[in-house]
Amino acid sequence: MLNRFMQMRLRDLVILAVILFALPLFLNNPFHYDLATQMAIIAATVVGLNLLVGFAGQISLGHAGFFGLGAYFTGIMTSNYGWSSVPALVVGAILVGILAWIVGRPILRLKGHYLSMATLAVGFIIAIILNNERALTGGPDGMPVPAFTVFGWELSPFGSYNLLGMELNGSEAWYLFAAVVLLVAVWLAQNLIDSPIGRALRSVHGSEVAARVVGVDTARYKSLVFVVSAIYASSMGSLYAHFQGFITPAVAGFDFSILFITMVVLGGMGSTMGVILGAVVLKLLPQVLADFQELETVMFGAILMLTMIFMPKGLLPTIQMAVGRRMKKKAGGQA
């Protein structure tokens, strides 16, 4: 039986896949590909954060901390200890998951502003540690990260590849890789949402009292989703490190955390496709506004404010509602 949810997920995944694989038709230089790759990696991070914020109704203002930990774990293990990329990513994600669980248990008892402050602090602490552990992380100067390798095969922005007879340069290959990663990230997130676990998570948001009386151990589920979203962030941090080839503590910083949460809110909390749109818009805006030079930040802020005032549900849900209403009107007019 195809229920409403399953139809929606299939539709969303297909649309996303079509967009992702059609996009190269409009990208005509390595800079565009790099931007698109960054977008895909960040979007996958935000899809994970949306599980926590949009679906379970909790907040994290320190998620870049987990992103940064993943990036640095990968950086340190691959460059200093000669690990291969996949083990570094997986072990990093597991360690970050454990850390998130340990930190999450006590702080997720907090609500609202207090939870915001606590998660903000988690992010700050991680950023400070990365800044200060000079011997390991290179401190504020950052550190280089080698290219992504699997079984000796290397994915580098400067390489050239052959995929099913297509000649690809490094940027194009990275983009395709990131696009597939994003699709997988979305697929996993959708599976989680449309399941008993997902209902329990959403009930924590919808009515915590109701959740508890039907038997949901709300503390456990909040920790679970915190861990899952931290693992998303850590894994994507690892990929980001490989892709950029160089990382600084800024990847774990406050600005990045706020950027992530803004993408979720702007795109549409609780809408997986929405937050991807949020990521795309917020990565694109600075490029588009670059022509305005010193007014860039002002315009950036103004656009955010106006969107929130006139589209409080976020970009995509608002657009979907408007389209739905129009279609209904049309159907009504014809009848």
Partner 1 sequence: MSALIEVKSLDKAFGGVHAVEGVSFSVEAGQVYSVIGPNGAGKTTLFNLISGLYTPTKGEIVLKGESTAKLEPNQLAERGMCRTFQQMQICMNMSAIENVMLGRHLKLRSNLFTTLFRLPSLLRDEKACRERAAELMEFVGCGDYLDTEASAMSYGALKRLEIARALAADPKVILLDEPAAGLNAVETAALEKLIRKIADQGTTVMLVEHDMKLVMGISDRLLVLNYGRVLAEGTPEEIRNNPDVIAAYLGG
Task: State the residues that interact with partner 1 by CB under 8 A.
Answer: 1, 3-4, 188, 191-192, 195-200, 202-203, 205-207, 209-218, 224, 228, 270
Could you tell me the smallest distance in angstroms from the CB atom of residue 94 to partner 1? Answer: 13
Could you tell me the smallest distance in angstroms from the CB atom of residue 77 to partner 1? Answer: 25
Could you tell me the smallest distance in angstroms from the CB atom of residue 22 to partner 1? Answer: 26
57 or 278, CB closer to partner 1?
A: 57
Measured in whole angstroms, the distance separating CA 48 from the mean position of its chain's CA atoms is 6
Could you tell me the smallest distance in angstroms from the CB atom of residue 316 to partner 1? Answer: 16
Residue 68 CB neighbour total at 10 angstroms: 32
Task: Say how far apart CA 140 and CA 138 lie, in whole Å.
Answer: 7
163 or 214, CB closer to partner 1?
A: 214
132 or 195, CB closer to partner 1?
A: 195
Structure tokens at 276: 């991807």
Structure tokens at 282: 């917020």
Per the rule left: phi > 0, alpha: psi between -120 and 50, beta: everything else, 268 is left
64 or 216, CB closer to partner 1?
A: 216
Structure tokens at 74: 């990968």
301 or 312, CB closer to partner 1?
A: 312
224 or 315, CB closer to partner 1?
A: 224
Could you tell me the smallest distance in angstroms from the CB atom of residue 119 to partner 1? Answer: 22
Structure tokens at 43: 């979007």
Task: Say how far apart CA 159 and CA 146 lie, in whole Å.
Answer: 13
Could you tell me the smallest distance in angstroms from the CB atom of residue 21 to partner 1? Answer: 23
How do strand 166-169 and strand 148-150 relate by DSSP bridges?
Answer: unpaired
CA 261-263-264 angle, 5° bins: 65
Which residues lie closer than 8 Å to 274 by C-beta, 6 or more apart? 267, 268, 314, 315, 316, 317
